[in-house]
Structures are given as C-alpha cells and as structure tokens.
C-alpha cells in the first residue's frame, strides 16, 4: 500500500545561490504547503521570497523556526555560519537538509553531530554529486562486487580560482577553509562512499600556496593519500588555483577505481560540451569578462534550462522532500558521514602543514588543528 504524503512546511535559512536553487525546486514539489525564508540581507531575502512565492520572510532565523508551520529546514548559509542555525533547528526537533560541511571547525562539527544524534533527528548533508547518474552507476558496480575488492582509487580535481577567491573573500578566518575542506570534499565523499566498508587509518599530504597564499592566506592545491586498515589506498589531488580562464565553470574531475577483478574509470571533466563565445556571458557561478570558453555542465548544482535548475541539486532536493513527506530512503550523506569527511580533509591539511603522516581518527580537539 502506498504511503500518503505528509505536507511540508519548509524553512530555508540562507537565501544565496543555493537557497534560491533549492527554494525554486521546493516550490514546485506537491508536498510543500508553506515556505518561509530567513536571510540576513533583507533586500536579497525579499527578492528570493518573491521569486519562489514564499509565505514568510525575515532576517532572523530564530523567528522563522518559531513559526508553527515549519516542519523541515534547509540550512544554506555560508559554510562558516552553519553551526548556530543547525543547533537552533535541532532544538526545534525537525528534519534537516544541511549544505556541506556541518562546520568548518572539526570541534564544532563534532558538537553539531552529537546534538543531531542525541536528538535522534533525520539530518542529511548536501553532498550533491551523489545524485548524478554516473556516480550512482559507479556506486552500484562497486556495491555488487563487479570490481572485486577495491584496492586503489585515484581522483584529480581541477578548478579555476574564482571559487577559491569567492570563498576566501566571504570567510572571516581563511585558515579554517582550504581546497579540500570546501571543494575537494565532494570527490572525497564519493570515493569514501564507494569504500564505506573500509577503515581509514592514516593520511599523508603536501600543499602549495604560491598563488592564493600571498593574496588570501590560502592554499592553492593539495595532494595526498589515505591509507586503509586492509592496505587499500586512495590517492587524491585538487587544485583550485587554476587561471580564471580555465574553461571549467567550477570543476573538472577524473576518478579511477581499481579492484581485484576489475577497473572503472570515470571522466567527469565536462569536456564533452564546450561553449565558445565572442561576448562575455553575464551568468554562472562568478561571471568574469575574461572568460569566453566554458565546459558546460561543470557547475556542480546543475544548469538552468528552460527556466528551471536541472541536475543533481534539483534531484537531491526532490529526493529529500520525498524522504521527509513519504519516508522514502535516499542516497544522501548522513551527518556522521559529513563529519567523517571533514575529519579526513582536516587530517590531510594537518599532514601537509606538519609535513608528516597523521594517524586516524583525528581528535576534534587536537591542539595541532589550532
């Protein structure tokens, strides 16, 4: 017998790019009965509220969460501002979709995870790439044992520096973010999802800071390895300091998965659709007039087409709303998985800083993180 859908009163905290994307998708979902928005910038909040037909808008998320209509919440603030609205939503006792990461500080992430688990709340984290068909197909091949025992995985992510510059400008503490913590975590999550039955025990990494270091106290690129208790190895590399003219709107990714009885290679570089124009396009993640060539499809949330966002973020949002309204299972990342990904990225960054291996799991209160 089919489950009857429950109506959803949706609170959206943070009305930036992602809040708008998810709000537009949610506004078309049949289970949505009410939408409220909390956005610190009142002009932005009013604009997004008008675009998605929101029923309520405020600059104070506490006011929004106090509304009796609210039965679920999307937390889409800047990465370094997640902790307080998450804890306020936990106190309200409602299911959450949280943009990754839970926090940019490992101790804060551990605190948030404990609060969610103690309250026994359903909270998922926006590792959006899990909802792209190629990554789901690869997950299925690993899951059914088509590759045998996975022994080594490699991933390489290239990004132009617009994403890094945007993130460093928005943070009040550049030391808490890095290419791994903010962007490399997506590839890492996919690989760790594939290797979920294995236990990571050690990391080793090196970083470079010749471009973003002098300008923003930032890291350009990191390469490293994660070693597992059974001897398996994950080798990863990410650079988010490529020139602005690099054609990836955000990223290009390549992954190779080696197993005892098979191998799977995944090209996610987006070089299959190349847009070249004579006049700059005033749209995209961070429009720049020097960019005249783009790999279409390289913006992780998806693409605007015929007036709608289409792609993994739309699919993820619909899937989560079906989870909330119908109780359906989804491949979304759990809060515990999100904390694990932050722990791994922080361990890799720590290893690069110390220039020595770091043992896992990393203590959230490890003084070396400060």
Across 112-119, average pLDDT: 98
Length of the chain: 370
Q: pLDDT value at position 284?
A: 63
Window from 75-79, 96-100, 288-292, 331-335 with minimum mean pLDDT: 288-292
Window from 5-14, 204-213, 279-288 with minimum mean pLDDT: 279-288
Q: pLDDT value at position 7?
A: 94
Domain chopping of the chain, boundaries: 8-129+319-334, 131-301+343-348
Question: Any bridge partners for residue 257, and if so which?
Answer: 153, 264
Window from 2-11, 63-72, 158-167, 327-336 with minimum mean pLDDT: 2-11
Q: Indicate if the pLDDT at residue 90 is higher than 70.
A: yes
Residue 109's pLDDT band (cuts 50, 70, 90): very high
Q: Indicate if the pLDDT at residue 1 is higher than 80.
A: no
Q: Indicate if the pLDDT at residue 201 is higher than 60.
A: yes
Q: pLDDT > 70: what percent of the chain? A: 98
Q: Is the Cα dihedral 329, 189, 131, 316 positive or negative? A: positive
Residue 321's pLDDT band (cuts 50, 70, 90): very high
How far apart (Å, rounded) are the C-alpha atoms in residues 13 and 308?
A: 21
Q: Indicate if the pLDDT at residue 370 is higher than 90.
A: no
Residue 3's pLDDT band (cuts 50, 70, 90): low
Assess if CATH 3.40.50.720 describes domain 8-129+319-334: yes
Query: 131-301+343-348: which CATH topology?
Result: Dihydrodipicolinate Reductase; domain 2 (3.30.360)
How far apart (Å, rounded) are the C-alpha atoms in residues 153 and 267?
A: 14
Give how far Cα 282 sits from Cα of 18, 161, 166, 287, 291, Å.
Answer: 18, 18, 16, 5, 10
Higher pLDDT, 287 or 175: 175
Across 224-230, average pLDDT: 98
Window from 4-18, 35-49, 63-77, 113-127 with minimum mean pLDDT: 4-18
Predicted confidence (pLDDT) per residue in 120-149, tens digit: 999 999 999 999 999 999 999 999 999 999
Both structure tokens of 163: 């994403």
Question: Any bridge partners for residue 259, and if so which?
Answer: 150
SS (H, E, C) the chain: CCCCCCCEEEEEECCCHHHHHHHHHHHCCCCEEEEEEECCCHHHHHHHHHHHCCCEEECCHHHHHCCCCCCEEEECCCHHHCHHHHHHHHHHCCCEEEECCCCCCHHHHHHHHHHHHHCCCCEEEECHHHHCHHHHHHHHHHHCCCCCCEEEEEEEEEEECHHHHHHHHHCCCHHHCCHHHHHHHHHHHHHHHHCCCCCEEEEEEEEECCCHHHHHCCCCEEEEEEEECCCCEEEEEEEEEECCCCCECCEEEEEEEEECCCEEEEEECCCCCEEECCCCCCCCCCCCCCCCEEECCCCCCCEEECCEEECHHHHHHHHHHHHHHHCCCCCCEEHHHHHHHHHHHHHHHHHHHHCCCEECCCCCCCHHHC
Q: pLDDT value at position 355?
A: 97
How far apart (Å, rounded) are the C-alpha atoms in residues 234 and 256?
A: 10
Average pLDDT, the chain: 94
Q: Indicate if the pLDDT at residue 303 is higher than 90.
A: no
pTM to 2 decimals?
0.94
Q: Indicate if the pLDDT at residue 258 is higher than 70.
A: yes
């Amino acid at each position: 017998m089919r489950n009857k859908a429950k109506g959803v009163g949706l609170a959206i905290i943070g009305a930036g790019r992602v809040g708008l994307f998810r709000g537009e998708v949610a506004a078309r979902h049949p289970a949505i009965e009410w939408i409220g928005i909390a956005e610190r910038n009142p002009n932005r909040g009013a604009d997004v509220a008008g675009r998605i037909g929101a029923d309520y808008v405020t600059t104070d998320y506490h006011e929004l969460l106090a509304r009796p209509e609210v039965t679920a919440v999307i937390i889409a603030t800047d990465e370094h501002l997640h902790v307080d609205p998450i804890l306020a939503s936990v106190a309200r006792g409602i299911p959450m979709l949280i943009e990754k990461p839970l926090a940019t500080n490992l101790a804060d992430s551990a605190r948030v995870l404990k609060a969610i688990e103690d309250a026994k709340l359903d909270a998922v984290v926006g590792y959006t790439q899990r909802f792209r068909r190629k990554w789901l197909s690869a997950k299925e091949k690993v899951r059914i044992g088509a590759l045998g025992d996975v022994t080594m995985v490699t991933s390489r992510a290239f990004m132009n520096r617009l994403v890094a510059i945007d993130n460093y400008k928005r943070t009040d503490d550049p030391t808490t973010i890095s290419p791994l913590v903010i962007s490399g975590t997506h590839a890492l999550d996919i690989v760790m999802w594939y290797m979920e039955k294995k236990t990571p025990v050690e990391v080793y990494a090196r970083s470079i800071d010749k471009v973003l270091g002098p300008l923003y106290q930032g890291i350009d690129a990191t390469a490293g390895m994660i070693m597992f208790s059974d001897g398996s190895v994950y080798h990863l590399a990410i650079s988010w300091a490529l020139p602005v003219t690099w054609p990836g709107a955000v990223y290009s990714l390549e992954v190779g998965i080696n197993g005892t009885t098979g191998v799977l290679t995944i090209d996610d570089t987006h070089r299959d659709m190349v847009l070249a124009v004579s006049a700059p396009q005033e749209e995209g993640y961070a429009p720049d007039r020097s960019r005249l060539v783009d790999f279409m499809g390289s913006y992780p949330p998806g693409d605007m087409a015929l007036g709608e966002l289409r792609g993994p973020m739309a699919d993820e949002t619909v899937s989560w709303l079906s989870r909330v309204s119908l109780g359906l299972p989804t491949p979304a990342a759990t809060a515990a998985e999100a904390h694990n990904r932050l722990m791994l990225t922080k361990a890799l960054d720590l290893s690069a800083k110390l220039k020595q291996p770091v043992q896992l799991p990393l203590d959230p209160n490890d003084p070396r993180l400060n």
